[in-house]
Every structure is written in structure tokens, then in C-alpha cells.
């Protein structure tokens, strides 16, 4: 199939064509076949992974993508895993075989089959149906093999081992908000990514135009999951964090907890509105300018009246600027007309309305008057307004009446450079208040077109000038030069057509882009302002929300899905619970369970499907040796990757202690709790649990996250006394 795509691509490239239509068709085919090649390359690993032998004798081969027989388009070589005919591969059990006689799990390396595992599911096996392992778990042999495999630093797809409870969520037809609540290791993220692939397959025409947005907690997480969708044949999805969702801004600053909480609360909207109103100033004294030899006074009364009219228009600040300027110019023109009239011999006003209109138009051309008026209603940008606010004690005080001074101090920043993740929703809100949209896009496009036209003409001029002079003098009229075949406009248009941005690329650069579907992972961490920002990008409210309220660590995060979603969708949301823990072995969950009880006694820990056979290790040492002990434990022989998870205040110290460490082949990361959200490792070493609990108002949730990142081994290193629930767990090890 891939070879055929290469052949068609080569043919399309050779067929240069002579007409614009032929060239356009060639370029369309080029993009199409390049997309096909990209898809085949990404999905080639273990492309064919399953086979169903049905009672009817039919054989269905299941793969990551669907492939038709080029010689017989009615014949399917490989069924896409998302196709309805593939679904029994994930749902069939001996008790409910769904007409499946045998299910085969096929392992391949490149294009070679390396292993086949057959499961008999026909009625003769029903007697053994009670011995199916773990309830609704199917494909258990393949599942356990995948779970026991060493981590690689990148998430693998679960297309071969999707379970019944996961399949129901992936293929859910619900067109509102679907909430997937699940504890650590329940496969929430994998389910979300496979749901994205399923929706793109099922609603291809709709979502290809509008796109799918996936929001993750941090850039490390996005890199971790980045290969999953391409391996399933999908590459047009936009992945972003909240901090990077506002075009042109990347979050590089870290807020203190008080500032993060204040910025995440909806009350900050009034602060931002006041910050914009504070830019609509009044002159402290009249500004005297000269116009046609006469004095013109820009007074507080002139500006106040113009400001009132602009505000009463209820337009965003930048859009109301024209109202302000028109009113101010009207007042100044009238003032000038009265002064001219008063200078006449009889003191009469001889200027008509048309004369005053002419004066107003002439004043608009006066740069000094225009600049003076613009100062009192300036053209604003969200970045400037927010940076000015956060770096000025006076502006903060003016915009936050009633705030405690300590909270104002927490908001104050010493540098104008950089924004935090919590600032992105504020920038988005300011864009609404100020009126930043695509109104200027047409002018920018016209300017870009003029530049392209100029560049094209320059290129043609160079080609013309490069012809030898004697050749030009004696040129055969039948010999055609470049300028005989194409003009500047045609050349510029050709270059413009070659730039074909994907849906994701266009959406990334457009703040007003609305997506067809949005997936939010670690959604419990999002503030009310972050949700407000997301909802602007999904007006149809078709979303998949992934999270675990027991793992909330952000001070502005949530403990209730209802509180978050009801203001936007009322009751048009459904919650699914994932109850099986595929990642975390039972030994580690036994340690984490008391922490979950401390967080919420009504919550139940997910049931671990497997045991690692390795009991957790607790090691107490002196404070100055915590780093070295953790490093020793982290670098013991291991097939896989390891992570040290440390409190925020110790992270730099631990990184220094492990910077030049010879890990003996073990890939080691040193992370804070926030940085390890959504990730998994073969081994984790959690440092100073008491400090993790104390560093945040939601410290118990942070500790629960830290303890549940490992797939094989867990160690806890501490100098301080363990938190009480962890003491009880340690005693049982």
C-alpha cells in the first residue's frame, strides 16, 4: 500500500501540466499522497495486530488503519480498529462471544510476524467462563504483557488491548460533555487519545475542517503522548497547554500560590475591566494646541463627554475608540468654529454645519491633535495591559478595591517579560474586553499580498537582467523568457498556493478559532478562568474531560465536575468512571489507598489488575543525605526508566545531586509533582512526603499523585516523620 502511494506521488510530481488547473490538481495530489505516506509510516509498527475467526467462517483482520485492496476496492485487506466490524475484538468474552470463534493477537516487527496468541471463544468454552481473570477484562494475556513491558518515555497506544469499559467511552455517541473520572493508572489519557482517533475516523468531514484540540497539563506530558495519535493514523490534532493556548505567548513564569488562586477566580474579570477603564484617562489640566493660527483646548470636559459616549456604546475598548475620537473631534471643531465666529466684527457665527464638518475633517489630519486625543483612549493590546497592571503597585491598587494588601503584593511582578500559565486566560479575557479579533486580518493579508507581488516582480526582473545582453539584442522571437510565460501576479499566486497550512496550524495562530471537539486532560487542575478560556473555543460544547478530583493539586483547581460544567452546559454532561487500575501494581496502591481516604473517605481506589512482586521501600536518613540515598535507589539495575519526585523547595538541590550521576543505563528524571502529572515510570523515588503535603493547600492530592506514578517499584526517602496515613501504610509493608 505504501509503495503504491509512493508510485502515485512520483507520477503526480512528473505530471507538471501546463495549465493552472493542471498544476493545482498536481499539488492537491501531492498533498494527498504525502499525507498517506506520513500516515503509513507512523502506523507501520505492529500495523496488523488482531484477527477474528467468526462462526460463519468469515475472517476479519484488524489493524491500526484500514487498507483496501488496490486491485479490488470492494476487498478489505485490513479493518481499521475503529470500524464497527472490529468492535468484537475488544468486547468478546467466552460468556459473550459475539459470534467469535477465535480471537488472535498478532505481534509484528516491521513486516514480519513474530508471535501469534489465539483465544478460543466459542460455546464449548463457556464452561470455563468463570475463570476469565478480572471481570470485563479481555485480551488479558496481551494486556499483562503490555503492562509489564518497560516504559520508554513515550506513551504507547493501547489499540491492541482496549477493554470493555474503555471501549464504551471511546465510542460513546454523546454529543455534549463526557467526563471520564478515574484514579491513577486507569488509562484515562489513553482512552481520551483513542477517543480522539475514533471521532476523527467517524466524523472525518466535520472534524477535518474544524479540528480537535487536546489540552494537557504541561509540555513534558504533551511530548509523552505526542506519538500516540500518529501511530493511529491521525496527525492533524492540536496539542497545547493552557499556558500556550493564547497565540504568540508561551508560559515561562511561575506564580506564587496566592497569585495563582486570585488569577484563577472569576472575580479577576472585574479587575481586568477596571484595568482597561483606568487607561481611559482625563487630562489633569487643559492641553493647548495651535490649529490654523488659533488655540484649541483639549479640556477635561471634552474628554469626559467623549469618554461617556464611547463607554455607552458598549463596544470593546478598541472598537469604541472611533466613537471617542469622533465625539472629541466634534467638540473641538465646534470650539474652533465658535472662536472664529467670536473674532468676527459683528460677533456673529457665520459658519454652517458643512463648514464645521470640514474643520473636523481637517483636524483629523493634524498629527498633534490626533496624538493628544489618542493618549486618552489609546489603542491597547492584552499583553501591554496585563504587563502594565502586574508591574505597577498603583495600577494593581486601583483595579483591586477591597483586596488585602498581601494579595496585591502577591500579584506584583518585578519584570515585564514573560507570562505564567495563569496569565493566558487573563490575556484571553482582555482580548474580549479590549476587542482583539481578526478585524485587521484583511489589511494584513493585503499587505502580505503586496509584499509577495513585489518579491515576485523582483524575481522576474532578476531573471530578465541575467540574460546576456547580446542574446537580448539578437533574441529569436520564438524563444520565450520567464516574463513571457508568467507575470508577477501569477508568480505570487503560485507561491501563495504552495503554503498549505494544516487545520491545527491555522487554529494555533487564530485566537478566535472554534474547534469541533476539545479534549482536556488532568482537567481537575484547571481554574474557573481557564475553563472560561476553553469554552470560547468550543461553542458546540462537544468535549471529553479527563481527570480525577482526588488528584487536584492546583490551588485554583476543582473538586466538583458539576461546579465546573453546569454554568456552561447545565445538565448536558455525562460521567463515566474507570474502575480498573492497569498501571499501578497492588503493592503500591496499598500504600496510596490511605492517602486517598484522607482526601475523600467516600472515594474508592481503582482495583489493580496485577501485582509486581516488589514491596515498596521506605528509607529514613538525615536531611543532608536524602539526595544521595534517592540517587542510589534510582540507579539500581532496572529495565526501564526512573524518576525522583521531590518537593518544590528541594528540586534544585536534588537535581544538583544527580546532575553528573552515572545511572548505569537507567534513564532518570528529577521532577516536581506538577511536572510528573499524567506521566508514568518503571520506578519512582518519592522524597520527603511531609514536605509535599505541607507545600500546598492541596498537598494530600499532590502526595497521592507522586505515590502512584510507578508501574513496578516505589521507594520513599525521608528525614522528617512520615505523614500519619503513610505511617500506617509503611507498617504493613
pLDDT single digits (tens) 657-714 = 887 776 556 688 999 999 998 888 999 999 999 999 999 888 999 999 999 999 999 9
Tell whether the model's pLDDT for residue 499 goes beyond 50. Answer: no
Q: Judge whether 693 and 703 are in contact, CB under 8 Å.
A: yes
Q: Are 426 and 415 in contact (CB under 8 A)?
A: no
Residue 5 has pLDDT above 90, yes or no: no
Which of 277-291, 442-456, 652-666 tops mean pLDDT?
A: 277-291
Q: In terms of Cα–Cα distance, which of 334, 339, 331, 329 is closest to 364?
A: 329
Sheet holding 543-547, edge to edge: 238-241, 212-216, 517-520, 543-547, 177-182, 573-578
Surface-to-core class of residue 632, CB atoms within 10 Å of its CB (0-12 exposed, 13-18 middle, 19+ buried): middle
Residue, of 527 and 148, whose pLDDT is higher: 527
Non-local (6+) Cβ contacts of 316 within 8 A are 432, 433, 434, 435
Q: Residue 151 has what pLDDT?
A: 54
**What is the spatial distance between Cα 9 and Cα 586, in angstroms, rounded to a whole number?**
52
Q: What pLDDT, on a 0 to 100 scale, did the predictor assign at position 161?
A: 75
DSSP secondary structure of 687-733? E-HHHHHHTSTTHHHHHHHHHT-EEEEEEEEESSPPPHHHHHHHHH-
**Phi and psi, residue 608, nearest 5°:** -70, 135
Please list the helix, strand and coil fractions of the chain in percent, rounded to the nearest 5, in that order.
50, 15, 35
Question: Can you tell me the distance from the alpha carbon of 647 to that of 673, in angstroms, rounded to the nearest whole number?
Answer: 7
The mean pLDDT value for 194-211 works out to: 88
Q: How far is CA 126 from the centre of its chain?
A: 46
Cβ within 8 Å of residue 144, ≥6 positions away: 609, 610
String of b and e for 9-29 (b: at least 16 CB within 10 Å)? beebeeeeeeeeeeeeebbeb
Picking from 37, 15, 36, the residue whose alpha carbon sits closest to that of residue 27 is 15
Q: Residue 401 gets which letter from DSSP?
A: T
Grade residue 380 by pLDDT with cuts at 50, 70 and 90: very high
CB 628 within 8 Å of CB 208 = no
The pLDDT, as a whole number, for residue 130 is 44
The three cell numbers of residue 128 are 470455563
Using pLDDT thresholds of 50, 70 and 90, give the confidence band for residue 453.
low
Q: Please give the Cα distance from 37 to 32 (Å, whole number).
A: 9
Beta strand 517-520 with 238-241 is unpaired
pLDDT over 50 at 501, yes or no: yes
Q: Quick check: 38 pLDDT over 90?
A: no
Which residues have CB under 8 Å from 102's CB, separation 6+?
51, 52, 53, 118, 119, 120, 121, 122
Burial 221-249 (b: 16+ CB within 10 A, else e): bbebbebbbbbbbbebbbbbbbbbbbeeb
Range 156-178 average pLDDT = 85
| pLDDT at residue 406 greater than cutoff 90 | yes
pLDDT at 665: 63
Judged against a pLDDT cut of 70, whether residue 70 lies above it is answered with no
Does 243 have pLDDT greater than 50? yes
Cell numbers placing 480? 520565450
* The predicted structure's pLDDT at residue 488: 60
Section 565-582 average pLDDT: 92
Q: Which three cell numbers stand for residue 526?
A: 484547571
Q: Where are the alpha helices (DSSP H) in 226-282?
A: 228-231, 257-264, 268-277
Q: What is the pLDDT of residue 107?
A: 78
CA 684, CA 710: separation in Å to the nearest integer? 6
C-alpha cell at 387: 504587563
- Residue 231 is predicted with a pLDDT of 73
Q: 220-224, 502-506, 567-571: which range is least confident on average?
A: 502-506
Query: If you average pLDDT over residues 628-637, what whole number do you get?
Result: 87
What cell numbers appear for 425 in the block?
486566560
Which residue intervals of 392-521 are DSSP H helices?
393-399, 405-411, 423-434, 441-465, 469-473, 482-485, 488-498, 503-508
Is residue 469 scored above 50 in pLDDT? no
**Over pLDDT 90: what percentage of the chain?**
45
Note the pLDDT of residue 351: 64
pLDDT digits (tens, 9 = 90+) for 307-359: 999 999 999 999 999 999 999 999 999 888 888 766 554 544 566 778 788 88
Task: Tell me which residue has cell 471537539.
Answer: 517
Q: Mean pLDDT across the stretch 634-660?
A: 88
Q: Does position 476 have pLDDT exceeding 60, yes or no?
A: no
Residue 390 phi, psi dihedral angles, 5° rounding: -75, -15
Nearest CA to 687 out of 608, 632, 614 is that of 632
Share of the chain above pLDDT 70, in %: 77
pLDDT at 448: 64
- For residues 122 and 55, what is the distance between their CA atoms, to the nearest angstrom? 8
pLDDT level of residue 66 (50, 70, 90 thresholds): confident
In this structure, of 35-44, 179-188, 587-596, the range with the lowest mean pLDDT score is 35-44
| Chain centroid, CA 528 distance in Å | 17
Supply the pLDDT for residue 617: 93
Out of 351-365, 390-404, 628-642, the most confident range is 390-404
Chain centroid, CA 339 distance in Å: 60
**Strands 667-671 and 294-298: what pairing?**
unpaired
What are phi and psi for residue 264, nearest 5 degrees?
-85, -15
Let me know: does 634 contact 666? Beta carbons within 8 Å.
yes
Ranges 52-61, 183-192, 444-453, 527-536, most confident:
527-536
Q: 382 versus 95: which is more confidently predicted?
A: 382
pLDDT digits (tens, 9 = 90+) for 103-160: 888 877 777 888 788 888 765 544 444 444 454 555 555 555 655 565 555 666 667 7
Predicted local distance difference test score (pLDDT) of residue 126: 43
> Does residue 475 have a pLDDT over 50?
no
User: At how many degrees (to 10) do helices 488-498 and 441-465 cross?
Assistant: 120
* Short-list 215, 385, 412, CA closest to 317: 385
Amino acid at each position: 500500500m505504501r509503495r503504491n502511494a509512493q508510485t502515485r506521488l512520483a507520477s503526480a510530481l512528473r505530471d507538471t501540466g501546463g495549465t493552472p488547473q493542471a498544476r493545482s490538481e498536481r499539488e492537491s495530489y501531492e498533498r494527498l499522497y504525502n499525507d498517506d505516506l506520513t500516515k503509513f509510516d507512523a502506523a507501520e509498527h505492529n500495523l496488523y495486530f488482531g484477527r477474528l475467526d467468526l462462526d460463519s467462517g468469515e475472517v476479519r483482520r484488524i489493524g491500526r488503519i484500514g487498507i483496501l485492496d488496490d486491485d479490488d476496492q470492494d476487498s478489505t485487506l485490513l479493518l481499521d480498529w475503529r470500524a464497527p466490524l472490529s468492535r468484537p475484538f475488544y468486547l468478546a468474552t467466552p460468556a459473550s462471544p459475539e459470534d467469535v470463534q477465535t480471537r488472535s493477537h498478532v505481534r509484528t516487527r516491521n513486516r514480519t510476524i513474530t508471535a501469534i496468541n489465539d483465544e478460543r471463544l466459542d460455546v464449548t468454552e463457556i464452561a470455563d467462563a468463570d475463570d476469565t481473570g478480572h471481570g470485563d477484562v479481555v485480551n488479558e494475556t496481551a494486556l499483562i504483557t503490555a503492562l509489564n513491558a518497560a516504559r520508554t518515555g513515550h506513551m504507547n497506544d493501547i489499540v491492541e488491548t482496549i477493554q470493555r469499559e474503555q471501549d464504551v467511552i471511546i465510542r460513546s455517541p454523546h454529543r455534549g460533555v463526557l467526563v471520564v473520572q478515574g484514579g491513577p493508572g486507569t488509562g484515562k489519557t489513553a482512552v481520551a487519545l483513542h477517543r480522539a482517533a475514533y471521532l476523527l475516523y467517524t466524523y472525518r468531514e466535520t472534524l477535518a475542517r474544524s479540528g480537535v484540540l487536546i489540552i494537557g497539563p504541561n509540555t513534558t506530558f504533551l511530548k509523552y503522548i505526542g506519538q500516540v495519535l500518529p501511530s493511529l493514523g491521525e496527525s492533524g490534532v492540536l496539542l497545547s497547554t493552557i499556558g500556550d493556548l493564547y497565540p504568540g505567548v508561551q508560559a515561562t513564569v511561575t506564580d506564587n500560590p496566592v497569585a495563582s488562586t486570585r488569577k484563577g477566580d472569576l472575580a479577576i474579570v472585574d479587575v481586568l475591566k477596571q484595568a482597561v477603564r483606568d487607561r481611559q484617562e482625563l487630562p489633569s489640566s487643559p492641553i493647548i494646541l495651535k490649529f490654523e493660527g488659533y488655540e484649541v483646548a483639549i479640556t477635561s470636559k471634552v474628554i469626559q463627554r467623549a469618554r461617556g459616549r464611547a463607554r455607552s456604546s458598549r463596544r470593546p475598548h478598541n472598537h469604541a475608540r472611533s466613537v471617542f475620537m469622533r465625539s472629541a473631534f466634534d467638540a473641538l471643531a465646534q470650539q474652533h468654529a465658535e472662536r472664529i465666529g467670536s473674532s468676527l466684527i459683528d460677533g456673529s457665527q457665520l459658519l454652517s454645519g458643512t463648514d464645521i464638518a470640514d474643520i473636523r475633517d481637517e483636524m483629523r489630519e493634524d498629527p498633534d491633535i490626533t496624538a493628544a486625543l489618542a493618549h486618552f483612549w489609546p489603542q491597547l493590546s492584552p499583553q501591554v495591559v496585563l504587563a502594565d497592571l502586574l508591574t505597577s503597585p498603583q495600577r494593581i491598587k486601583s483595579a483591586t478595591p477591597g483586596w488585602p494588601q498581601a494579595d496585591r503584593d502577591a500579584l506584583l511582578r518585578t519584570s515585564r517579560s514573560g507570562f505564567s500559565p495563569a496569565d493566558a486566560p487573563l490575556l484571553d479575557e482582555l482580548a474580549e474586553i479590549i476587542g482583539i479579533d481578526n478585524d485587521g486580518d484583511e489589511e494584513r493579508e493585503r499587505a502580505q499580498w503586496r509584499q509577495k507581488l513585489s518579491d515576485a516582480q523582483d524575481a522576474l526582473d532578476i531573471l530578465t537582467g541575467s540574460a546576456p545582453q547580446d542574446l537580448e539584442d539578437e533574441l529569436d522571437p520564438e524563444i520565450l523568457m520567464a516574463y513571457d510565460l508568467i507575470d508577477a501576479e501569477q508568480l505570487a499566486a503560485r507561491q501563495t498556493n504552495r503554503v498549505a497550512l494544516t487545520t491545527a496550524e491555522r487554529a494555533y495562530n487564530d485566537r478566535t478559532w472554534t474547534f469541533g471537539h476539545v479534549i482536556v486532560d488532568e482537567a481537575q487542575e484547571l481554574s474557573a478562568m481557564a475553563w472560561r478560556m476553553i469554552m470560547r473555543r468550543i461553542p458546540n460544547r462537544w468535549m471529553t474531560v479527563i481527570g480525577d478530583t482526588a488528584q487536584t493539586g492546583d490551588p485554583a483547581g476543582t473538586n466538583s465536575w458539576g461546579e465546573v460544567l453546569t454554568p456552561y452546559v447545565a445538565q448536558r454532561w455525562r460521567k463515566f468512571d474507570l474502575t480498573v487500575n492497569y498501571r499501578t501494581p497492588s503493592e503500591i496502591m496499598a500504600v496510596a489507598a490511605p492517602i486517598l481516604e484522607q482526601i475523600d473517605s467516600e472515594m474508592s481506589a481503582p482495583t489493580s489488575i496485577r501485582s509486581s512482586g516488589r514491596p515498596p521501600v521506605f528509607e529514613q536518613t538525615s536531611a543532608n543525605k536524602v539526595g544521595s540515598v534517592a540517587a542510589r535507589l534510582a540507579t539500581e539495575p532496572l529495565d526501564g526508566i526512573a524518576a525522583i519526585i521531590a518537593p518544590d523547595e528541594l528540586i534544585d538541590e536534588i537535581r544538583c545531586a544527580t546532575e553528573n550521576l552515572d545511572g548505569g543505563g537507567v534513564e532518570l528524571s528529577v521532577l516536581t509533582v506538577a511536572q510528573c502529572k499524567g506521566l508514568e515510570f518503571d520506578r519512582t523515588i518519592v522524597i520527603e512526603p511531609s514536605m509535599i503535603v505541607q507545600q500546598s493547600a492541596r498537598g494530600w492530592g499532590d502526595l497521592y499523585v507522586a505515590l502512584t506514578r510507578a508501574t513496578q517499584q516505589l521507594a520513599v526517602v525521608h528525614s522528617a516523620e512520615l505523614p500519619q496515613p503513610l505511617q500506617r501504610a509503611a507498617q504493613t509493608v
